[in-house]
Chains A and B, each alone.
Chain A
Amino acid sequence: MTRRISFLIFSSVAVLAIFAFVWLWNRYPNASLPEKVYKVGILVRGSGYEVAVDSYKRKMTELGYREGENISYDIRFVSAREELPRAVEEFLAEGTDLIHTYSTPATQAAYEITKTMPVPTPVVFGSVGDPLIAGVVRDFQHPGTNVTGVTSLSTELTARRLELLYEMNPSAKRIAMPHTAPENGDIAATRSVEIAEETARRLGMKLILLPVRAKEDNAAVAQRIMRQDADGMIVGGDSLVWGDIDMYIAQAIREKIPFAAFDLNQVQKGALLGFGPDIAISGEQSAVITHQILRGRSPAEIPVEVPRKLLLVINQATARAIGIVFPDAFLQKADVVIE
């Protein structure tokens, strides 16, 4: 009898305990469900973006996305424009959750393919000269599409680069500007030319435009930039020209022409100076936007960001090579001085 009572007590409590456990499990489900493994496709066209990609991945890790555990990256460096759509389609075929792009053509390719999907895959750009002109967003504050990101201001900053050449040497009047030929349809490049022309007019400079139609034209165009014809050189937000920037840098040094380029990478390669975004910071900004999207926000509602940091970079070695001495005031404004 006693053993029966003990068994009854124990059985009753055990049944109640199981019931309690099941009820609690259903009533208060565990918030930490198994983590999803995200797939991010990174599409880069042009050079100098490795720093940005590294910075992007580093920031993503900081935000809790551990490569190999809950996130994987498929990074493609593509030079030919016509290869961009195929890369995007391959991303989508692999079930990519988000596409991260660098350069206007890469972003446009991603947008054109994803916008037709029933549920468009989000696209976050880390460097686009002017997303409005590129047609990938409708508004900076409310993009309204499946695309958002960090603009590089490469188009707008064309004016600033021209101003820097003027500040450095007000007597410089003739400025060479290689650019993608308008018929190629690079809107950012075309807009850069417009801004450069406006600024040149304002500063009393003369712009020498050198159209580039294809990649193989760069060599010839570069060769045509001579000291006797130009007091300086600038580039706009132009991925075709940037793709062979080394040629233009080499030519500028050879001809002792001050060359105002875009970013730290180009100045490191030998351009006299550069003014553009700190793309490492831009990469971090892109990562934050990616995080917000993966957490459920719609790209259409995430404002396009301007780069949080702009860098004025100067190359003293190039200055010495071409016989330039930077004024002190100019040196004080520099964020990075390459010796």
Chain B
Amino acid sequence: MVHVPMFSLPSGARANMKTAIHWLLPLILTGLGLFLVNLIWLYPALRNIRESASILALEISHRVETTIAADLTATLNDVQAAADDIASEPDRSSLILERLLRRHASLARVVRVERGGRELMRVSRPTAESMGESASAYTARPIFYAALQGVSSFDDVEISPERGPHTLLVTPIFRGGKAEEVLFVDVDLTGLTHAVREIPDLTGHMYIVDRNGVQVGHPDIAEVIKRQNFIKRPIVRKVILDGIVADGLAPEDEYVNEQGTRVFAVGFPIPIAGLGLIFEQPRSRALAGERQMMFFAAAAIALGLAFLSIILRSNIRLTRLNASMRELLTDLDNAGKMLVRRDLELTRANVRLEELDQIKSEFVSIAAHQLRTPLTGIRWSYQAILEEGQGNLQPEQRKLLESGLSTTLRMVDLVNDLLSVARIEEGKFGILLKKQALTPLLARFADLFSQRAREKGVAFLSEIARDPSIPDVAFDEEKLGIVFDNLLDNALKYTEPGGRITLRASREGDHVAIEIIDTGVGIPPGQMHRIFTKFFRADNALRLHTSGTGLGLYVVKNIVEKHGGTVEVESHEGKGTTFRMTLPVA
């Protein structure tokens, strides 16, 4: 069975998604958390702003509502009082009604109607229009029958372009405990317009609606004439139908008005006339503080998110850094352990090498000493035989003896070289420096090797400076002799007949420079770096089958450096070699 993953991404995409989740998810979730946490202060703050706006608006509205209600109540009370007066003194009805009209400028006329609907008396202001109504005009009105039931009430508000808003107030006139007559009072409601105009200089306005939701009061009378019905507004229904105060805190107290402006509104019922007072203000002005709070909260959340992003980013960076550091430390640790192991191994190897070296040096020293004596004896024997048996030796015998002597001398040189090396390594190769002229030593070796060179057919030039002459140098004559001997011997050894050897010595500042220049076989460039090591002989030297221990230049370098000088070599294979050494002027 092959398992096919339902959803798979390339590894790169998976890594990116993982990074994104690692980054974004905590950011989003914490952002949400920050938002909720901020609600702790934001929600109450917003509510407080709303409540403050509500309190202010309610205060203003309540003053106006109280004024209107008081006005209407006073009117109703006076009308009822007039009805009671008429009931007691029907003959003075006219006077009573005239007095009523004088007291209330808003009353246009009063009509006294008997139970059957017949008009008994009418008192009007001179400016009032004639109603010209018959009995049916009164009996057709439901409010007439309400009055016959003993109820005083305001009728629905009527609006005409000529008069504006007006209504009828009816009250019963009781006789014998029964409502026998009804007073119809024509009430001018343009006073409502004045009432809603008188608010402090705030944005927004008040308006009044009747029990059907029709606007009957507005600062602009032209708006009243339009007879707009606002019953669909929840706040109007709350005030008119439910008869409760709308404090602006409920969501339904906000609405978009006919101008398309979102408003914050409060409302008061005016139960006496079935009216409602609404005070609306543009929401942006009434609750201006909300926007500032929201902005502040948004800034706080943004700052929190920014701060969190910085922390997260730093954390991620540190995490990566830590991981890299850990890897590095692990590697270092491993490398360290490996180094420690290697160091231990090397130390052990060094100790063994030192031991071996010590053993070797001791062996060489002992062997050289043990060999030197018999070899010296053999050399003397050969020399004695050769010197004393001059006339008695056959040519072949002489030849054999000379060959033996030559071999012995080579062995003596080898032993001497080995002894020198042994002493150098043991630190017993003492140098006794003495300030003296170098020229005599140089001359002596020049003489010696010029002779030998001549015998080989090699030209020898000696260029020892005289003017100025070579200054005194502090040197060990025996040891420096070994140096010149080795260098000149090598030059002669590796220069073919017809070549040339030059010994040059001169002063260079506070040093004396000595050069031994030959036109010999030269040194292969790949082996130049080993020229001063022990037992080294170049390949071309080995091909020449020349004698040599490979220790001479090691001894030369050691002796020159112990004199405080330097030795260098410059060579071109097939063309020759130049050894240059310097010694400090004493």
**A80 within 8 Å of B (CB atoms):** no
Chain B contacts for A246, CB-based, 8 A: none
Interface residues of A in 274-313 (CB under 8 A from B): 277, 288, 291-292, 295, 297, 303-310, 312
B32 interface neighbour in A3, A5, A17, A307, Cβ under 8 Å:
A17
- What distance in Å separates the Cβ of A64 from its nearest Cβ neighbour in chain B? 9
Q: Is A171 an interface residue (CB 8 A)?
A: no
| A163-B117 contact, Cβ under 8 Å, with A10-B29, A16-B37, A306-B142 | yes
Nearest CB in chain A to that of B149: its residue: A140
Residues of A within 8 A of B243 (CB): 292, 297
Q: Report if B347 contacts A (CB, 8 A).
A: no
B39 lies within 8 A of A20 (CB): yes
Residues of B contacting A159 in the complex (Cβ-Cβ under 8 angstroms): 115-116, 139
Chain A residue contacts of B322, Cβ below 8 A: 1-2
A199 touches B (CB below 8 Å) = yes
What is the CA–CA distance of A5 and B237 in the complex, to the nearest angstrom? 56
Bound-complex Cα distance A303 to B151 (A): 9
Interface locus among A23-31, A81-89, A103-111, A180-188: A23-31
Partner of A310, one of B29, B30, B34, B142: B142
Residues in chain B near residue A140, CB distance under 8 A? 146, 149-151
| B140/A24 in contact, CB under 8 A | no
B residues 207-246 touching A (CB-CB < 8 Å): 237, 241-243
B308, A20: Cβ atoms closer than 8 Å:
no
On whether A291 and B241 interact (CB within 8 A), knowing A2-B322, A310-B140, the answer reads: yes
Q: Which of B29, B40, B311, B319 lies in contact with A24, CB distance below 8 A? A: B40
For B145, give its contact among A2, A295, A297, A306 (CB under 8 Å).
A306
Report the Cα distance A199→B319, complex, angstroms.
Answer: 104
| Residue A213 lies at the interface, judged by CB distance under 8 Å to chain B | no
Total contacting residues, chain A, CB less than 8 A: 50
Known contacts being A292-B241, A292-B243, is A21 close to B318, with CB within 8 Å? no
- Indicate whether A141 reaches chain B with its CB closer than 8 angstroms: yes
Contacts of A153 in B (CB 8 A): 142, 145
Please indicate the chain A residues that have their CB under 8 angstroms from the CB of B151 in the complex: 140-141, 303-304, 306
Min C-beta distance of B339 to chain A, whole Å: 30
Contact across chains for B47 and A21 when beta carbons are under 8 A apart: no
Q: Which residues of B contact A3 (CB under 8 A)?
A: 315, 319
**Alpha-carbon separation in the docked complex, A45 to B116 (Å):** 30
Q: Quick one: CB contact mask for B275-315 with A, threshold 8 Å, 1 for yes?
A: 00000000000000000000000000000000010011001
Inter-chain CA distance A292–B244, complex, in Å, is 10
Q: Cβ of A9 and Cβ of B30 under 8 Å apart?
A: yes
Residue numbers in B under 8 Å from A13 (CB-CB)? 30, 33-34, 37
Among A10, A27, A163, A304, residue most surrounded by chain B Cβ atoms (within 10 Å): A10
Given known A-B contacts A17-B36, A307-B142, A2 and B319 have beta carbons under 8 A apart: yes
Bound together, the chains give a CA A44 to CA B445 distance in angstroms of 157
Q: Which chain A positions have C-beta within 8 A of B136?
A: 163, 167, 333
Q: Whose C-beta in chain A lies nearest to the C-beta of B135?
A: A163
Q: For the complex, would chain A's binding face be called helix, strand, loop or mixed by DSSP majority? A: helix
B242 touches A2 (CB 8 A): no
A312 to B136, CA, bound (A): 11
Task: Output the nearest chain A residue to B318 by Cβ-Cβ distance.
Answer: A2
| A9 B146 Cβ-Cβ under 8 A | no
A20-B37 contact given A307-B142, A333-B136, CB 8 Å threshold: yes
Q: Is B185 an interface residue (CB 8 A)?
A: no
Most chain A beta-carbon contacts within 10 A, residue among B135, B145, B241, B250:
B145
CA distance A308 to B153 in the complex (A): 13
A3-B319, A20-B40, A140-B149 given; A160·B139 CB < 8 A: yes
Whether B414 sits at the interface, judged by CB under 8 Å, is no
Asked if B26 is at the interface (CB within 8 A of a chain A CB), the reply is yes
In chain B, positions 162-213 with a C-beta closer than 8 Å to chain A are: none
- Which chain A residue has the least Cβ–Cβ distance from B148? A156
Chain B interface main SS type: helix
Question: Once the chains are docked, how many angstroms separate the CA of A160 from the CA of B134?
Answer: 13
Given contacts A28-B43, A288-B241, is CB(A202)–CB(B142) below 8 Å?
Answer: no
Contacts of B34 in A (CB 8 A): 13, 17
Could you say which of A9, A288, A295, A310 contacts B308, with CB atoms under 8 Å apart? A9
For chain A, residues 1 to 45, give those with C-beta under 8 angstroms from any C-beta of chain B.
1-3, 5-6, 9-10, 13-14, 16-17, 20-21, 23-24, 27-28, 31
Query: A9 to chain B: which residues have CB within 8 Å?
Result: 26, 30, 308, 311
**Given A9-B311, A24-B40, A292-B241, A199-B26 contact (CB < 8 Å):** no
Bound: A303/B150 CA distance, A: 12
**Residues of B contacting A292 with CB < 8 Å?**
241-243
Q: A261: CB under 8 A from chain B?
A: no
Interface string of A223-251 (1 = CB under 8 A from B): 00000000000000000000000000000
Q: Is A132 an interface position by the 8 A CB rule?
A: yes
Is there an interface contact between B146 and A199, defined as CB atoms closer than 8 Å? Answer: no
* A-side contacts of B150, CB under 8 Å: 139-140
Residue of A nearest to B137 (CB): A333
Interface status of A321 (Cβ within 8 A of chain B): no
B329-367 contact mask (Cβ, 8 Å, vs A): 1 or 0: 000000000000000000000000000000000000000
**A286 CB → nearest B CB, Å:** 13
Assess whether A132 is in contact with B149, with CB atoms less than 8 Å apart.
Answer: yes
Q: Which of B529-569 contact A (CB under 8 A)?
A: none
In the assembly, what is the distance between CA of A140 and CA of B322, in Å? 88
User: In A252-287, which residues have CB < 8 Å from any B CB?
Assistant: 277
> Does A63 sit at the interface, judged by CB under 8 A?
yes
B40, A2: Cβ atoms closer than 8 Å = no
| Contact call B116/A163, Cβ cutoff below 8 A | yes
**Chain A residue at smallest Cβ distance from B22:** A6
Bound-complex Cα distance A277 to B140 (A): 10
CA distance in complex: A157, B140 (Å) = 10
* A288 CA / B237 CA spacing, docked (Å): 10
Q: Is the CB of B26 within 8 A of A6?
A: yes
Q: In the complex, how many angstroms separate the beta carbon of A2 from the nearest chain B beta carbon?
A: 4
**At the interface, yes or no: B71 with Cβ under 8 Å from chain A?**
no
- Is the C-beta of B459 less than 8 angstroms from some C-beta in chain A? no
B124-154 vs A, Cβ < 8 Å mask (1 yes, 0 no) = 0000000000011001111101101111000
- Known contacts A291-B242, A305-B146; can you find 9 more A-B pairs with CB under 8 A? A6-B315, A9-B30, A9-B311, A10-B29, A20-B39, A27-B44, A130-B149, A202-B116, A297-B243
Residues of A within 8 A of B (CB): 1-3, 5-6, 9-10, 13-14, 16-17, 20-21, 23-24, 27-28, 31, 63, 130, 132, 139-141, 151, 153, 156-157, 159-160, 163, 167, 199, 202, 277, 288, 291-292, 295, 297, 303-310, 312, 333
10 contacting pairs across A/B (C-beta < 8 A):
A6-B26, A9-B308, A27-B44, A31-B251, A132-B149, A160-B117, A297-B242, A303-B151, A304-B151, A305-B146
- In the A-B complex, the 7 residue pairs with the smallest Cβ-Cβ separation, listed nearest first, are A17-B33, A13-B33, A17-B36, A306-B142, A306-B146, A2-B315, A2-B319
